[in-house]
Chains A and B, each alone.
Chain A
Amino acid sequence: MIENLDLNLIDWSRAQFALTAIYHWLFVPLTLGLSFIVAIMETIYVKTGDEEWKRITRFWMTLFGINFAIGVATGIILEFEFGTNWSNYSWFVGDIFGAPLAIEGILAFFLESTFVAVMFFGWNKVSKRFHLLSSWLVAVGANLSALWILVANSWMQNPVGMVFNPETARNEMTDFWSVLFNEVAVVKFLHTISSGFLLASMFVLGISAYYLLRKREDLLAVRSIRISAIFGLLSTLVVAYTGDGSARVIAKVQPVKFAAMESLYDGTDNAGLIAVGILKESDRSIGEKKVNDFVFRIKIPGMLSVLTGGSRDTFVPGISDLVTGNPGRNILSVAEKMEKGKVARDALTDFKNSKKNNQADKAAEISGMFRDKKFIDSYFRYFGYAFLAKPEDVIPNIKASFYSFHIMVMLGFYFILVFVLALWYLFRGTLAKNRWFLWVALCSILLPYVAGELGWVLAEMGRQPWIIQDLMPLSAAVSRIGTGSVITTFILFAVLFTGLLIAEISIMIRQIKIGPKH
């Protein structure tokens, strides 16, 4: 199928979705984290009654407001794209995708948008405690929004809690709690929101460092650094912990992505973890796809096995094992999965023919098969493989997966170092004297954005060719619409989002230069 389809259409639809998601993610994490930092600062103000804390809170709240206002509704475009560019997918996922998004819209969005008004208009109009409660509810609401979006995304990575109904050609949710507490969703939610906290902490740290470099707003800067460094350090540790958990879950439910992250082709026990490495194409290939080799690498022996399964004896399958199969380790080959997927698809064809020929009993029997656990486990779970042309189509872009993962991890260690140094200099009272560090902190503001985007690159590119893991490849999900219209909207989005980003940065820089009200 993949050869027959206009690859340009898939590529442009993917590029458009990637562009929208990447831009959207420039606004979201700062909202997630800064809302909590503002709430913490306001709590200190309410507890101490110190007017300086109120001034500090209001200053960071202003920057939160600018980011919140410019970023709001940018995610809606992603939903438009699902409906138009990925209409087969949108129909196939049914209410499983719709329900979390609807909950997000109704519950979380209204919660945060209602109380945002109190946050900004309510100073001196509502009681201190009600205002504080509003700030906390905005923070909780923003993060709850993220929860539902991530639940929907996690289902795409690990589809659970549903059955496929051939009558409607849709998946139907059978277990809401399985969808909500999907093991991918739990770690992804914690990992994502804590990365937002980290990003916001670095933002506050960097801007406070700017004030110290300019020798102004000393008290605001020092107090803000104290909050952001502690919050940032704790968040980074949570990011590291949940990142480890996330990798374990990926190893279990998306083993090809996991092998791609480490560029591991040949499975082994006592597998080493690549700390640093540079890839090059080798002469070897799997089918038509070239295998990557290392120009250079630093490997920690046995660590990958330990991190994956708790001991050095844990076998970690490589890409070759997963594509060509490994009977000794009970790993099916992709070719076998393609055959199983075709059985499920043939059943669907029989169902359609039975309906067409008014054979209601046969149609009902086939429909029942799609609810039968044995049929689901043996055949339907491989439904997406029926669309593949060659076994090696399941191999994602190895270089993109490997580098995005390793750069993200390296940045994580760098963030820990920056927050520890900030606390060290702060408690020694030498922060303002170490101007080199203030410059480092200022220049580091952009790095958590890079790490966050790389995380999404890994999550989404690493699972290719699937839009829904094992059930639907991109080629089956894309709408047969004109490539020209996708290109037009791609350009429109690029202009719109770039305009929004320029507006955000210019308004923010102006407000930072003005500083807090005295």
Chain B
Amino acid sequence: MNSPGSLLNRLFRFYYDGFRTMSWWGKKVWIIILIKLFVIFVILKLIFFQDFPGKKSRETGKSEYVLDQLINPK
């Protein structure tokens, strides 16, 4: 049976070799994935998509805020 260390080593080699011998399209799509994740999680999430009722809850509490919206539609 493999020791945990040797298993981790094999797992590392598996991914390392996989990335090292990656084809042209693999390298290209990884660049696209990284750019996309940066745009989604850094630019979009942090700047544009904040937790809207979370902001409101500082003053009132989320449930109270939404309850108010349901009862008093503006």
Contacts and interface: CB of A to CB of B under 8 A. Distances in A.
| B is bound to A | yes
B26 A120 contact: yes
A500 B73 contact: no
A331 interface: no
Contacts of A496: 36, 39
17 contacts: A1-B73, A5-B73, A73-B33, A77-B40, A80-B40, A87-B51, A88-B53, A91-B66, A92-B66, A121-B14, A121-B15, A166-B67, A345-B71, A352-B67, A476-B69, A479-B52, A479-B53
B17 interface: yes
Interface of A: 1, 4-5, 62, 65-66, 69-70, 72-74, 76-77, 80-81, 83-85, 87-88, 90-92, 117, 120-122, 125, 166-170, 345, 348-349, 352, 387, 475-476, 479-481, 485, 488-489, 492, 496, 500, 503, 507, 510-511
Given A121-B17, A476-B69, A479-B52, A91 B63 contact: yes
Given A91-B62, A492-B48, A507-B29, A125 B14 contact: yes
Interface string B36-74: 110110011100111111000000001110111111011
A70 B63 contact: no
B74 A4 contact: yes
A65 B28 CA distance: 12
Contact of B44 (A77, A87, A120): A77
B22 to A, nearest CB: 8
Q: Give me the 8 closest cross-chain CB pairs, A-B, nearest first.
A: A121-B18, A69-B29, A87-B52, A80-B49, A1-B73, A169-B67, A169-B66, A91-B66
B8 to A, nearest CB: 15
A83 B48 CA distance: 11
A21 to B, nearest CB: 15
Contact of B33 (A62, A69, A77, A85): A69
B73 to A, nearest CB: 4
B71 A84 contact: no
- Chain B's interface size range is 35 or more
Contacts of A66: 25, 29
B12 interface: no
B7 interface: no
A232 B70 CA distance: 47
B58 to A, nearest CB: 14
Given A69-B30, A70-B29, A169-B66, 6 more contacts: A69-B29, A69-B33, A80-B45, A169-B64, A489-B44, A511-B25
Given A120-B18, A485-B48, A73 B67 contact: no
Nearest to A125: B14
B62 to A, nearest CB: 6
A500 B51 CA distance: 26
A166 B64 CA distance: 10
A170 B63 contact: yes
A466 to B, nearest CB: 15
A66 B31 CA distance: 12
